[in-house]
Amino acid sequence: MIAYDQSNQEVVYYMPENMSPEDSDMKSERGIGWVLAQGALFVFFFIAVLFGDSVSEVPGLVLVWTVGVIIAVGGAALSAWSVLLHGSRLSPFPFPVEGMQVIDTGPYRYMRHPMYSGIVLFTLGVGLAYGKPSVLLSSLTFLVFFVAKSGHEEDMMIKYMDGYREYRSSVPWRIIPFVV
């Protein structure tokens, strides 16, 4: 598949139609299953937000709501910043876009997958702000999912992206600094 970025330069994605026979194993590595599972998690999150029961008689709920909003806004900002750093080479697949360089600036100096961090923080903040345990569960589910997905993604980046192994060695935290 060939796409064009904002400067009308060609961006080539690793897709089955431009793979050589010796690269046929990349088809399964590309990760369509990861993308579908992530989409299902977002559906679960939105259903939990819209239809989940909230805890309404908890002391200090205003404080929890305020902290939740701050965490959600911070998470959204972190994800947006990460998306901007990727530019036209952003892909939902856990497989590097051809020609992609290691990003080691901004939040990528502290964690290897800040976009995932932002999503986890956003869903956690929304769960706190709405006081909905099912939304908080979706946040935990996203964290577990992104730990697994990022492991697969990093295997692909080490295999197909120059310099990623060194980057991974220099930035110890995958999603949440000092945790995972």
Q: What is the pLDDT along the chain (180 residues), one digit of tens a residue?
A: 344 445 555 544 444 444 444 454 554 556 889 999 999 999 999 999 999 888 776 667 888 899 999 999 999 999 999 999 998 888 888 888 888 899 999 999 999 999 999 999 999 999 999 999 999 999 999 999 999 999 999 999 999 899 999 999 999 999 999 888
Question: What is the spatial distance between Cα 115 and Cα 95, in angstroms, rounded to a whole number?
Answer: 15
Total number of domains constituting the chain? 1
- Tell me what pLDDT residue 95 has: 86
- Tell me what pLDDT residue 7 has: 54
DSSP alpha helix (H) spans, 23-132? 26-29, 32-51, 61-86, 114-130
CATH no. for residue 144? 1.20.120.1630
Q: Which amino acid is at 75?
A: G
| SS3 (DSSP) at 22 | helix
Q: Is residue 31 part of a domain?
A: no
Q: Is residue 68 part of a domain?
A: yes
Q: Is residue 16 part of a domain?
A: no
Its domain, for residue 126, covers 58-180
Q: Is residue 165 part of a domain?
A: yes
Longest pairwise C-alpha distance within the chain: 63
- Tell me what pLDDT residue 61 has: 82
- Tell me what pLDDT residue 4 has: 44
Instruction: Note if the pTM is more than 0.85.
Output: no
Q: Is residue 19 part of a domain?
A: no
Q: Is residue 108 part of a domain?
A: yes
Q: Is residue 153 part of a domain?
A: yes
Question: Which strand (E) or helix (H) includes residue 12?
Answer: strand 10-12
Q: Is residue 38 part of a domain?
A: no
- Tell me what pLDDT residue 12 has: 46
